[in-house]
Structure 1
Amino acid sequence: MASQEECSTSAKVVRTEQKEIHTVSGSTTEGTCEEIALKERFSLLSTIGIQFSLAAAPLAIGSYANVVQGIGGGPFLFWGTLVACVFQTLVCLSVAELASSFPHTLAMSHWAAQLAPVGWERFFSYWTASVTTLQTQCDNAGSWLLTSYTILATVTIFSDLEYERTNWQCYLTICACVAASCVVNLTPRLLGGFAKLTTVMVIIINSGAIFQAVALLVRAHPKPSPTTVFFDVTNETGWSSLGVVFFFAMLPGVGTVGGFNYICHLTEEVPRPGRTIPIVLVSVALLASVTVLLMIIVLLFCIVNPASLNDPIGGMLISQILWDGYSSKVLSGINMLIVAIVFVIGGSGFLTCSSRMFWTFSNHGGLPLSRWIGRINSKTQIPDVAVLCTALICLLICLLQLGPSTVLNAILGFSFLSGGLGYSIPIWLVIIRGRSLLPEDRYFNLGSFGLLINILSALWLLISCIFFAFPSYLPVTADNMNYGAPVFFGLLSLFIPNWFFHGKKNYHVPAPLETAGISHRRNLGCA
């Protein structure tokens, strides 16, 4: 076995001359591992804060409800979210175990490579990384799009409903937010301040949610009956099957309890990632599930004017619910401002995490201009080119805002498809090839329940991907069509020529990081 010094030397070779080591067989060379290239910036508390702020579940659920308006009404929103939370938590457990077993910034791509049959490592790793890259870039854009809607809805409230947003104003708002986030992500001192801020994000988000909930419960009158909230289904979709409609109503739950790979892309920047990341994922998933369900109940009991939701303020259901429930411009505006600020902070977290995925995929030869995009600024220890490229891609995707009104639905649908497929690949591999491939001394071990949890997770991801590709409304028109699946497969097809002209020659399977668990490194002679 190689000594620690040998491992470190070998890691430097992996980072600088990876092609010579990996391209012959496409798999990791015996006795090599990758050194940590990024500075450790985030503590356990700050990573919990980042993960929780990405979705900001209790504050964001009112915004996510936009995409299921008329799809079963309040009952399906609550029960659908409940079911989604249960199965998303199972997915989280599967992902947490894999993250504990094979900690790496490439996340699912690295896990797939470790679990793939001999000779298939590059295939599974490359395509999993391609799907994950699409997911992270799309999620980043979607988060800023939702942020712009929230900011402009806040402006509408403070203007006494005189202001009406336009598409170009949304885009300019996105540009301003992304530019500010870039400054934070490219400046070491500001990024350090962001890391400190995120240590209290759980408190900030939940305090904002408590303030919103208590104020609504006190001021909103008249309140609907429990029968209306939990059982009076409203189906305006055109689908005759309520079972199909119920699946559509799960989308907010998937959106608020998801994004499990993002914190994994910060593996090089957190202490003891094999331990830290599973703790973060499981704790945030459980906290998000509880808080989002409680907030849904509060919101549903505080809808005092259901008819007004057909044309909500600023196009946001939550802004209309607050306006009607509070009967106060000041209270409504303050609550929306809190949500907007939390979304801006969460958007900065999306840029941080998605840029790390873009950087590490490039660093392993997966994208054109890999040497340029995959470089690290030696002074700041930040992948500055990857951050700028991620911001630019975000702005290009958000140009869709100038087109169809269903762009947010399309982006969310695209994100769920790509994320679901990305999680599915390593989970199916561990089911098919056997859980014995996982290191025995991993920190997070599902034990005898592992196989059952993996199977339920994989089936849930398969079913949800199928249903989320369906159009939510019938008959299908250009305005209500679900563009998620066509856009997903269209963009994914771009990685085919990329493979033949670039990836086939340059892409190499990632070696374990020096920070990896002992038995994981021993598998490759790195300990």
Structure 2
Amino acid sequence: MSQQERQPLLAVHDAAAPVVVAEPALERNFSFIAALGLAFTLLNTWTAIHRSLPVGLESGGPVVMLYGLIISVIGQTFVATSLAEICHVLPMAGGQYDWTYMLAPKSMRNGLSFLVGWLSCAGWVTLFAAAAALTENLCMGMFVLWSDMSGPSRWQEFALILVFVLIAYVLNAFFVRALPGIDHFSGVWSIVGMVLIMGVLLVCSKGHYQPAKAVFTTFTNNTGWPNTIAFLLGMLQSTLTTSSFDAVTHLVEEMPQPARNAPKIMVLAPITGGVTAWPFMLVLLFCMRNWEAVVASPLGPVLEIYQQSTNSPVGATLLMFINTLAMAFCTQSVLTISSRMVMSFARDRGLAQVSPFIAPINPKLNVPFNSINFVTAWVVLFCLIYLGSTVALNAIMSSAIFFLQLSYCVPIMLVLFRGEKAFDEHAPTRGWSLGRWRRPVHIVSLVFLAVTSTIFLFPPFLPVTAENMNYAVVVFVIVLIMCAVAWFADGKENFKGPLDVEERLAAARAA
């Protein structure tokens, strides 16, 4: 491998200094196709519908599931385009917090960057928990289908979540060179599997399709909210499945030509997610025999539809296996990204006194081994919380996209307010620019983020009870408190934003 291919940075700690310094380490293993496969697998929009379908059917029904998905994809594409231009100018592995530091006024860049870094890390760590839990949910549905129980016990769910966490951990910690190949395969598996499932459902449901009018015009509202809020709550379920497209920015030190390739993948991620999820959703709605059973089924909504369509436990299980493996691939991809995000932030002393321990890359494994351990340990802790309270774990998982969306807002706002001069000092000549479209694109992005982020905090049903309350705001406050403690205990003195900026940018642009 050439020296040029080894220009990304390894974090090591200099005991004589209060900051983290860098040296070459990570290999650029992720080609454009591999990185695109990872982004597609990580969003996994068509499979993530499993989680959004029950709430969506209650909050607007088929109208919201179909048209809300289109609105979400358009909105997320605007956001991705806004961030893609920033990534083109500043291809840095810290993503949002790096960009915030580079774009913000000097008087506030340290504190603002520190806050965005915490939001981004919290988002990716909790997203790993959410992905593992959803994979478990898909798998457990098959177990319930073949057993006499009405639903799994909490310890069974806990154990199965740990199994998928462990698989992701082993792949990321000890088989890093296999990850690009896995991402290639997972992308193919996901697309081919989706087409196969759609074909089977359409064939098995022939003569029993829902009427087109029912699919395209039925609006239901069982939330207790006014119809407008119900529509937004239903649309929010699609937003959940089309976010986290910043993933590729945290791989810029492991991919060739990141200033060119990463922005393309960012924009393509929500588009490919929507293009695949919309026809899949359409097929599910046409093949659904009993909508009430889908919402209430202990099998899970998608497996219930498979069972209704095929009328065969074997057929439904085989179809659900495709979903489950696709989601397992997603889980390992989320750990890949979350560990890189945490490593990058720790390298810049963003995680207080534990930063020097988390930041280094293991020279033998060539992975951020301590960062992988750190992220995995947090998710295991979340799982232990689940043994005591399902509400607590659901609050942690539901806050993931909320954190990420808040981290998207800050760099977009900085570019909107500062205009062209925000980029001129970093890259006077650029290969790609939004030009005169920058302001309208950023305004649409911020409006979409503001609306969806606000709705994220709404309880899904009225009247509000302890069981259906949305506790994401509680998780948000806890993260803010942790961030404040870290800032005053260490960050205010030692966090100076991204280190070795010129070297990192030079390496990325020369790759």
Distance 1:301 1:443 in 2: 45
Residue aligning to 2:41: 53
Residue aligning to 2:223: 237
Q: Which residue type is aligned with residue 51 of structure 1? A: A
Instruction: Select which of 306, 317, 330 maps to 1:322.
Output: 306
1:349 equivalenced with 2:333 (yes/no) = yes
Q: How does 1:351-430 map to 2 (within 5 A)?
A: 351-367=335-351, 368-406=353-391, 409-430=394-415
1:128 equivalenced with 2:112 (yes/no) = no
Q: How does 1:237-276 map to 2 (within 5 A)?
A: 237-239=223-225, 241-276=226-261
> Is the CA contact 2:42–2:334 (under 8 Å) kept in the aligned structure 1?
yes
Residue aligning to 2:158: 171
CA shift for structure 1 position 463: 1.3
1:457 equivalenced with 2:445 (yes/no) = yes
Instruction: Select which of 338, 363, 371 maps to 2:322.
Output: 338
Distance 2:231 2:470 in 1: 17
> Is the CA contact 2:43–2:245 (under 8 Å) kept in the aligned structure 1?
no
Residue aligning to 2:212: 226
1:64 equivalenced with 2:48 (yes/no) = no
> Is the CA contact 1:156–1:164 (under 8 Å) kept in the aligned structure 2?
yes
Q: Which residue type is aligned with residue 441 of structure 2? A: I
CA shift for structure 1 position 160: 5.6
> Is the CA contact 1:140–1:354 (under 8 Å) kept in the aligned structure 2?
yes
1:516 equivalenced with 2:511 (yes/no) = no
Distance 1:171 1:271 in 2: 39
Residue aligning to 1:74: 62
CA shift for structure 1 position 482: 0.6
Distance 1:414 1:70 in 2: 21
> Is the CA contact 2:34–2:181 (under 8 Å) kept in the aligned structure 1?
yes
Residue aligning to 2:293: 308
CA shift for structure 1 position 443: 4.0
CA shift for structure 1 position 163: 6.7
Distance 1:198 1:435 in 2: 36
Distance 2:52 2:84 in 1: 25
Distance 2:493 2:404 in 1: 27
CA RMSD in angstroms, aligned pairs only: 2.5
Distance 1:400 1:82 in 2: 36
Distance 1:67 1:480 in 2: 12
CA, structure 1 residues 246+400, in 2 after alignment: closer, same or farther (shift >3 Å)? farther
Q: Which residue type is aligned with residue 46 of structure 2? A: P
Unaligned runs of 5+ in 2: none
Q: Which residue type is aligned with residue 385 of structure 1? A: N
Unaligned runs of 5+ in 1: 24-32
Q: Which residue type is aligned with residue 236 of structure 1? A: N
Q: Which residue type is aligned with residue 181 of structure 1? A: A
> Is the CA contact 1:131–1:421 (under 8 Å) kept in the aligned structure 2?
yes
> Is the CA contact 2:12–2:356 (under 8 Å) kept in the aligned structure 1?
no
Instruction: Select which of 80, 86, 93 maps to 1:98.
Output: 86
State TM-score, norm by structure 2.
0.92
Distance 2:305 2:429 in 1: 50
SS across alignment from 1:441: coil
Distance 1:222 1:400 in 2: 44
Q: Which residue type is aligned with residue 110 of structure 2? A: R
1:294 equivalenced with 2:260 (yes/no) = no
1:183 equivalenced with 2:170 (yes/no) = yes
Identity of aligned residues (%): 27
> Is the CA contact 2:126–2:379 (under 8 Å) kept in the aligned structure 1?
yes
Q: Which residue type is aligned with residue 346 of structure 1? A: C
Instruction: Select which of 186, 189, 195 maps to 1:210.
Output: 195
CA distances 1:323-366 after superposition (whole Å, capped 9, x unpaired):
11111112110111111111111101111110111111111111
Distance 2:419 2:498 in 1: 21
> Is the CA contact 2:103–2:411 (under 8 Å) kept in the aligned structure 1?
yes
> Is the CA contact 1:312–1:320 (under 8 Å) kept in the aligned structure 2?
yes
SS across alignment from 2:140: helix
